[in-house]
């Protein structure tokens, strides 16, 4: 049992002026780096860690937490303004954020993203503070069989994004799984599909694939359509009504169930090591779209879509720390970087951390809540700056974005090979969009592919090839039943009903 005096001392440490300044610096740096296409908070944290050697442990960790939280919102900025996600998990935000910006409401879209991000993040932090140890134990009790069932359930949710063409959606998913097979076999460690390029031993880099298909493909499309014309990237009316610039309390409150759903999805997936914020964002978007009474409005500037994705991907951040603090197991790359920061200062995350470093941990919790507030304030203050930048001519904005994508991928992948991969998948993404194949489904399948393959091979070994033995794993069985129901409902029933309603309305 933690002494109350230790909790109060830790919170007192967190709210000191020094830590406040480091949190502010971290959030500002994270938002800026997140807003640059091709980079992200993980890269910023990796660069910042060496500079934390000389800091106190709490100040160092608070700074890195601020970078991570700021970067989660920062990635949504280019996704909304120029349909070029700053990070892979912001790709889902672009689905409705950019159409809303094209309607002349970029500030409104970014404010909704900011409010949803802070809401989901705060929810996740509260869960971390209150039930971190029990939830981490539950998450770690999910073995390979349960993880495989969870992956199948995640793929069933993708059915909600397939739309009218089930065949094209399935083809996109199969392509994503196929490209996820490039690299070393997760079971035997033998290389496959690498065609003599040793850079592919670790597989195709997610950053290069995601940025290429989602960002560079859009840049190519927009640059091709410019044809020498000089016009702003987004037309923002000089005189906007207040409702087009602000998110009213009524609008925010109307998204409460959407944000709660996203926060719960993000927290649950974030507590399971390896799932990640990209999967959480797309799963939240798909479930929100299918739960909506007007699913046809999604993808056309529905503010609920922005709320769903940002609340989910931000909620992952706090939940990632649950297994890290309670058991010393990182739930993401960002959490792994935080472990390195802990070890730099001689602190070993794990079951004894709360007992041995209780004051530091509660200081970290206080810094996290403070970072949420700073994220909100700094984000609010910077929105007008981003809209001013984006009012520059399209040729300048998209040319600069392309350079940033190339630079970001070059740095994150460690060489020119990553840039080549990005350009190849940019062409592929352009062609898929041209012929009506979902790039979003491809990215989700690619992201989950290697994890699904590993969990599937482990499951087959555990079950000794007898699939009926899954009845001895009640959690996995329940997830598989949910997958069957959701596949039928989201992939077959709902699209068929939507087409029937469209046909009936056209007859009327």
Q: Which of 132-136, 189-193, 243-247, 313-317 has the lowest mean pLDDT?
A: 132-136
pLDDT at 358 over 70: yes
Backbone angles phi, psi at 192, to 5 degrees: -150, 150
144 pLDDT band, cuts 50/70/90, is confident
DSSP letter string over 267-329? HHHHTSTT--HHHHHHHHHHHHHHHSS-GGGTTSS-HHHHHHHHHHHHHHHHHHHHHHHHHS-
- Verdict on whether the full-model pTM lies above 0.85: no
Name 184's bridge partners.
191
456 pLDDT band, cuts 50/70/90, is confident
What pLDDT, on the 0 to 100 scale, is given for residue 390?
63
What pLDDT, on the 0 to 100 scale, is given for residue 226?
60
Q: What is the DSSP letter of 182?
A: -
How far apart CA 23 and CA 29 sit, in angstroms, is: 10
- Give the pLDDT confidence of 292-327 residue by residue, as tens digits: 888 888 888 889 989 999 999 888 888 878 777 776
Nearest residue to 444 (alpha-carbon basis) of 146, 160, 43: 160
- Give the pLDDT confidence of 111-123 residue by residue, as tens digits: 999 999 999 999 9
Nearest residue to 341 (alpha-carbon basis) of 49, 27, 19, 13: 49
- In the predicted model, what is the mean pLDDT of the chain? 79
Return the biggest CA–CA distance within the chain.
72
Mean pLDDT of all residues in 137-164 = 71
What pLDDT, on the 0 to 100 scale, is given for residue 376?
92
How far apart CA 83 and CA 95 sit, in angstroms, is: 8
- Give the pLDDT confidence of 466-487 residue by residue, as tens digits: 888 888 888 889 888 988 887 7
pLDDT at 82 over 70: yes
- Give the pLDDT confidence of 370-390 residue by residue, as tens digits: 999 999 999 888 887 776 766
What pLDDT, on the 0 to 100 scale, is given for residue 50?
67
pLDDT at 499 over 80: no
CA atoms within 13 A on the CB side of 386: 28
- Burial label, 399 (beta-carbon count in 10 A; 0-12, 13-18, 19+): middle
Burial annotation 37-66 (CB, 10 A radius, 16+ → b, else e):
bbbbbbbbbbebbeebeebbbbbbbbbbbb
Most confident of 233-237, 457-461, 463-467: 457-461
Helix orientation angle between 57-74 and 4-14, rounded to the nearest 10 degrees: 60
């Amino acid at each position: 049992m933690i002494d109350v005096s230790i909790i109060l001392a830790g919170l007192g440490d967190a709210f000191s002026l020094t830590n406040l300044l480091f949190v502010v610096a971290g959030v500002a740096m994270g938002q800026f780096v997140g807003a640059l296409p091709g980079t992200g908070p993980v890269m910023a944290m990796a660069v910042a860690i060496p500079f934390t050697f000389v800091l106190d442990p709490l100040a160092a960790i608070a700074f890195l937490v601020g970078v991570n939280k700021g970067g989660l919102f920062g990635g949504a900025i280019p996704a909304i303004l120029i349909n070029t996600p700053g990070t892979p998990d912001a790709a889902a935000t672009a689905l409705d954020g950019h159409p809303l910006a094209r309607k002349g409401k970029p500030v409104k879209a970014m404010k909704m993203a900011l409010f949803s991000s802070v809401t989901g993040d705060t929810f996740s932090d509260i869960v971390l503070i209150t039930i971190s140890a029990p939830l981490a134990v539950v998450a770690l009790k999910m073995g390979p069989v349960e993880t495989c069932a969870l992956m199948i359930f995640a793929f069933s949710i993708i059915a909600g994004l397939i739309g009218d063409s089930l065949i094209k959606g399935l083809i996109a998913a199969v392509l994503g799984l196929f490209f996820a097979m490039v690299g070393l076999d997760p079971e035997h460690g033998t290389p496959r599909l690498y065609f003599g390029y040793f850079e592919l031993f670790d597989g195709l880099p997610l950053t290069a694939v995601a940025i290429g298909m989602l960002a560079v493909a859009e840049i190519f499309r927009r640059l091709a359509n410019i044809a020498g014309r000089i016009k702003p990237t987004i037309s923002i009316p000089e005189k906007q009504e207040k409702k087009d610039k602000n998110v009213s309390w009524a609008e925010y409150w109307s998204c409460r169930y959407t944000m709660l759903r996203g926060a719960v999805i993000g927290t649950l997936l974030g507590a399971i090591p390896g799932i990640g914020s990209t999967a959480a964002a797309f799963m939240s978007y798909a479930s929100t779209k299918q739960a909506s009474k007007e699913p046809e409005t999604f993808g056309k500037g529905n503010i609920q879509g922005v709320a769903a994705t940002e609340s989910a991907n931000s909620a992952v951040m706090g939940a990632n720390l649950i297994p890290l603090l309670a058991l010393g197991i990182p739930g993401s790359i960002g959490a792994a970087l935080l472990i390195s920061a802990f070890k730099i200062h001689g602190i070993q995350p794990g079951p004894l951390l709360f007992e041995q470093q209780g004051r530091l941990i509660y200081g970290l919790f206080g810094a996290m809540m403070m970072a949420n507030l700073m994220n909100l304030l700094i984000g609010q203050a910077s929105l007008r700056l981003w809209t001013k930048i984006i009012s520059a001519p399209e040729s300048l904005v998209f040319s600069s974005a392309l350079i940033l994508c190339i630079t970001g991928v070059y740095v994150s992948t460690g060489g020119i090979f990553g840039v080549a991969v990005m350009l190849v998948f940019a062409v592929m993404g352009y062609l898929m969009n041209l012929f009506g194949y979902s790039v979003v489904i491809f990215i989700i399948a690619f992201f989950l592919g290697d994890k699904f393959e590993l969990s599937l091979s482990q499951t087959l070994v555990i079950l000794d090839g007898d699939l009926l033995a899954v009845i001895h794993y009640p959690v996995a069985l329940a997830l598989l039943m949910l997958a069957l129901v959701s596949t039928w409902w989201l992939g077959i029933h709902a699209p068929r009903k939507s087409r029937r309603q469209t046909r009936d309305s056209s007859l009327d």
